[in-house]
Structure 1
Amino acid sequence: MAPSKVYFTNMRTTLEENLLQKLERLCREAGMERIDFHNKYAAIKIHFGEPGNLAFLRPNYAKVVADLVKKLGGRPFLTDCNTLYVGRRKNALDHLDAAYENGYSPFSTGCHVIIADGLKGTDEALVPIDGEYVREAKIGQAVMDADVVISLTHFKCHEATGIGGALKNIGMGCGSRAGKMEMHSSGKPYVEEERCISCGSCRKNCAHGAISFVEKKARIDHSRCVGCGRCIGVCPADAVQPASDEANEILDCKIAEYSLAVLQGRPHFHISLVIDVSPFCDCHAENDAAIIPDVGMFASFDPVALDMACTDMANRQPALPGSHLDGREDGDHFCAAHPTTDWKGTLLHAEKIGLGSTEYELVEI
C-alpha cells in the first residue's frame, strides 16, 4: 500500500491567523472539501469528556469542523455512544448533560448533539464485516444512518490500548453497549450482589430469560445470556458489570474491525489534535498533567496513517518533568506510560484488513 498523506500544523499562531482559523485551513488543505457534503448527514465523532476531566477537546474546535461542513453544503451533528462503565455518560440523558456541561451544545458548536446508540445504549445497527474476531459489529444507529463520518480526536495515552487515537475514537467510541462489551469481554456480564437492590429491571429487560433472583439477588445464567449488555444499561445501582477480561492484543484487533464496520462504504475524514496529552483516557473524571508538550493538529483521509504520524511525532517530544512519565522514559512514551500495552496492535491489524497504511508522508502547512 502506498504511503498516505498526513497533513500537520503546529500550535503557533500569527496576528493574521488564530488556531481555529488554522484548523479550518488544515482541513481544507488536507482535502476535506473533496467530499460531497451536499444535503448529506455528517456524523462528527467526538469524545465529550467525562465531567471533572479538563483534557478533552474544547468545543471551539468542533465548531470549526461543523461550520466547514455546513459551508460545504452538509448537515453536521456531533455524536458519541454511551459508555459501558459507570459514569456520567452511561445513558443518553446523563450523556447530554455531561456534553452540555463541558460546553458541547447546539449554541456553542452550531450543530446538534446526538447520542448515537439511544437512551440506554441499545439503539444499534448490526453491521456484517466477517472479520477475524468480529462477524457482526454492533454500531450506534445514528452513526450508521450518517452519509459521511468525520472523526475529531483528542490524541492521548490509553491504559488498555496504549494510545487513544482516531481508531480508538471510531472503533470503541461508535460501538453500542453490546458492541463495547464484545470488544472488552470474552465472557458475559456478572452481578455484584452487594450492590443489587432487587428491583427486577435487569430481568424485565432481558429478552433471553437469562436473569433470575436467588435470595433477592440477581443471577445471570451464562448459558442463556447473549452478552447484549441491556442489563448493564438498565441497572439503577450499577450492580451488573461487564466482564472486562479480553486480552489487550485481541481488544486492539476488535477495535480495528469495529472501525472498519463504521467506515466501510462511505466517505470519511479524520482530524487529531495532539495537545494536552494525558496519560489516561478522557473517560476518567480527572486528568493528570500532560506528559509531553503540545505538538499540533493533524488531518488525513487515512486513520491508520494519522494515528501512526501522531504517535511518531509525540514520541519525538521530551517527557515533561513532574508528569506521569517522570522517571519512566524508555524512548516510547506510550509503552513507558502503560508497559502492558502495545499501541501498534490496532494499527497493524487495521492495515492488515485494508483500513489504511502505517506508511505515511507528512505534509506540513
Structure 2
Amino acid sequence: MEKAKVYFTDFHATGNMNLLEKLRHLVKKAGIDQLDYQDRYTAIKIHFGEPGNLAYLRPNYAKVIVDIVKENGGKAFLTDCNTLYVGGRKNALDHLDSAYVNGYNPFTTGCHIIIADGLKGTDETLVPVEDGDYVKEAKIGHAIMDADNFITLTHFKCHESTGFGGTFKNIGMGCGSRAGKMEMHSAGKPYVIQELCVGCGMCRKNCAHDAITITEKKASIDHNRCVGCGRCIGACPKDAVSAAGDEVNDILNKKMVEYSAAILRNKPSFHISLICDVSPFCDCHAENDVPIIPDVGMLASFDPVALDSACADLCNAQPIMPGCRIEGSKDGDHFHALHPTTDWHSLIEHAEKMKLGTSQYELITV
C-alpha cells in the first residue's frame, strides 16, 4: 500500500504566525478543503474535558476548524457522546455544563454543541459492521450518523487501558452511545454497588426489559434479562450502577477500531491531532498529572491509522520529562512504560486489517 501523507507543524510561533494560524495553515495544506461542505452538516468530534482536568484542548483550536467549515458554506457543530462512568459528562445536561465550564460555547467556538447520543446516552443509530471480529452492529450516537461530514480534533495523550488516546479512541469510544461504550469496555453487564444503592427504583423505571428488582431497598440486575443498554447507569441518582469494565485491553482496542469503522466507512472524514500536555491518563480524569514528554506539534491527515502511528512514533522519539511518572524509564515505548498491561500496536494492526488506513506514512513538515 502507498504511504499515507501526514502533515506536521511544531508549536513554535513567530510574530508573523501564531499557533492558531499555524493550525489553519496545516489543515489547509493537508486538504481539509477537499471535503464538500456546501449546505452540509459537519460533525467535529472533540473531547470537552472532564471538569478539573486542564489538559484538554482549548476551544480556540476548535474555532479554527469551525471557521473553515463555515467559510466553505457548511454547518458545523461540536460533538461528543455521554460517558459510561460516573463524572461530569454522564448525561447531556451535565455534559453541556462541563463543556461550558471548560470554555466551549457558541461565542468561543462559533458553533453549537450537540451531545450526539441524547439526554441519557440512549439516542443511537445501529450501524452494521459485517467484517467485525467482535462487533457486528455498532451503537453510534445518532447526531454523528445524521451528519454529512466527520472531522476529528484529538488531544493525543496516554491512556490507562489502550496505551494512548488518539484518533481511534476519539472516534470509536467517543462516538459510542452508552450501550456502545458498555459493549467496548465490558465482556459482561452492569451491576449494582449495593452499599451505594438506596432502593429509589429509578433504575427499574428506566429498564425496558424488566431486569431489575428491588428487595429490602436494594436493587439487583438479572443478567439473563439484561441487554446491556446502560439506561440504568444514567438513571441512578447515587451512581450505584456500574459497568463491569472487564474486557481485556487488546480486545478493547479492537472493538474501538470496529466502532470507528462504522463511522469512517459511511462519512467523508478528516483528522487532526495535537500532541501537547501528554498527560499519563485520559482527559476523562478529573485531574491531570505532569506530562510525560515535551509538547511536540500538530498533525493532520485523511488517514487515521497513519495519523495515530505518526503521533505514537513522534512521542516515543521524545525525551522523558523530569518528575513525570516514567522518569528514569529505559523502555523505548513510553506508553508501555507507563501502562505495562497495554499494547497500542494491537489497535494499529487491527485498523490495518479492517482496511481503515495504513501505518506506513510520509511525514510532511509545513
TM-score computed with the length of structure 2 as normaliser: 0.99
The 8 Å contact of residues 7 and 365 in structure 2, kept in 1 or not, is answered as yes
Q: What fraction of aligned residue pairs are identical, expressed as a percent?
A: 68
2:257 corresponds to which letter in structure 1? A
Measured against aligned partners, the alpha-carbon deviations of 1:19-61 in whole angstroms (never above 9, x if no partner) come to: 1011001011001111111111000000000010000000000
2:28 maps to: 28
Deviations 1:148-198 (A, max 9, x none): 000000000000000100000000000000000000000010001111111
**Structure 1 unaligned regions, length at least 5:** none
| Aligned residue in 1 for 2:137 | 136
Q: Distance in 1 between matches of 2:161 and 2:342?
A: 6
**Equivalent in the alignment of 1:187:** 188
Cα distance, 1:2 vs structure 2: 1.6
Does structure 2 conserve the Cα–Cα contact (< 8 Å) formed by 1:205 and 1:230? yes
CA distance in 2, matches of 1:72, 1:339: 45
Specify the alignment match of 1:73 in structure 2: 73
Residue number in structure 2 paired with 1:15: 15
What is the rounded CA distance, in whole Å, between the counterparts of 2:275 and 2:100 in structure 1? 23
1:347 corresponds in structure 2 to: 348
* Partner secondary structure for residue 181 of structure 1: helix
- Cross-structure match for 1:169: 170
Amino acid at match of 2:59: P
The one-letter amino acid of 1:76's match is A
Q: Secondary structure at the match of 1:83?
A: coil
Do residues 84 (structure 1) and 60 (structure 2) align? no
For 1:121, the equivalent position in structure 2 comes to: 121
Q: Which residue number in structure 1 is paired with residue 253 of structure 2?
A: 252
For the residues of structure 1 that align with 2:103 and 2:116, how far apart are their CA atoms?
19
CA distance in 2, matches of 1:113, 1:322: 37
- What is aligned with 2:217? 216
1:52 counterpart letter in structure 2: G
SS of alignment partner, residue 172 of structure 1 = helix
Q: Is this contact kept in 2: 1:319–1:329, CA < 8 A?
A: no
Query: Deviations for 1:305-358, whole angstroms, at most 9, x for unmatched residues?
Result: 000000101111100110111123411111111011001111110110011101
SS in 1 for 2:174: coil
1:2 aligns with 2:6: no
Matched, 1:51 2:51: yes
Matched with 2:329 is 328
Partner Cα distance (2:319, 2:97) in 1: 37
* Cα RMSD, aligned residues only: 0.7
Matched residue SS, 1:307 = helix
Q: Shift in Å at residue 263 of structure 1?
A: 1.3
Q: Which amino acid aligns with 1:50?
A: E
1:266 to partner: Cα distance: 1.9
- 1:243 deviates by 0.4
Q: For residue 348 of structure 1, what is the amino acid of its counterpart?
A: E
What do the CA deviations read for 1:259-279 (whole angstroms, capped 9, x no partner)? 001111221000000011001
Runs of 4+ more than 2 Å apart: none
Partner amino acid, structure 1, of 2:183: E
Matching of residue 264 in structure 1 with residue 262 in structure 2: no
- Aligned to 1:222, what secondary structure does the other structure show? coil
Residue 274 (structure 2) pairs with residue 273 (structure 1): yes
Q: Which residue of 2 aligns with 1:111?
A: 111
Q: Report how far residue 3 of structure 1 moved.
A: 1.2
The 2-side partners of 1:347 and 1:254 are apart by 12
Aligned to 1:160: 161
SS in 2 for 1:97: helix
1:99-158, Cα deviation, whole Å (9 max, x unpaired): 000000011000001111001101100111121100100000011110000000000000
Instruction: Check conservation: 2:200, 2:217, Cα contact below 8 A.
Output: no
For the residues of structure 2 that align with 1:54 and 1:99, how far apart are their CA atoms? 12
Q: Normalising by the residue count of structure 1, what TM-score does the alignment of the two structures yield?
A: 0.99
- Hey, what's the Cα distance between the residues in 2 that align with 1:22 and 1:115? 29
Q: Which residue of 2 aligns with 1:285?
A: 286
Cα distance in 1, alignment partners of residues 259 and 114 from structure 2: 20
Aligned position for 1:99:
99
In structure 2, what is the Cα distance between the partners aligned to 1:126 and 1:257? Answer: 13
Instruction: State the Cα distance separating 1:292 from its structure 2 match.
Output: 0.5
Q: Which residue of structure 2 lines up, in the alignment, with residue 63 of structure 1?
A: 63
Aligned to 1:149: 150
CA distance in 1, matches of 2:66, 2:257: 26
Where structure 2 has 5 or more consecutive residues not aligned to the other structure, the ranges are none
Query: Is 2:320 aligned against 1:319?
Result: yes
- Secondary structure at 1:168's aligned position in 2? helix
Aligned length: 365
SS at match of 1:173: helix
Q: Distance in 2 between matches of 1:132 and 1:85?
A: 25
Amino acid at match of 1:220: I
Q: Give the aligned residue type for 1:148.
A: N
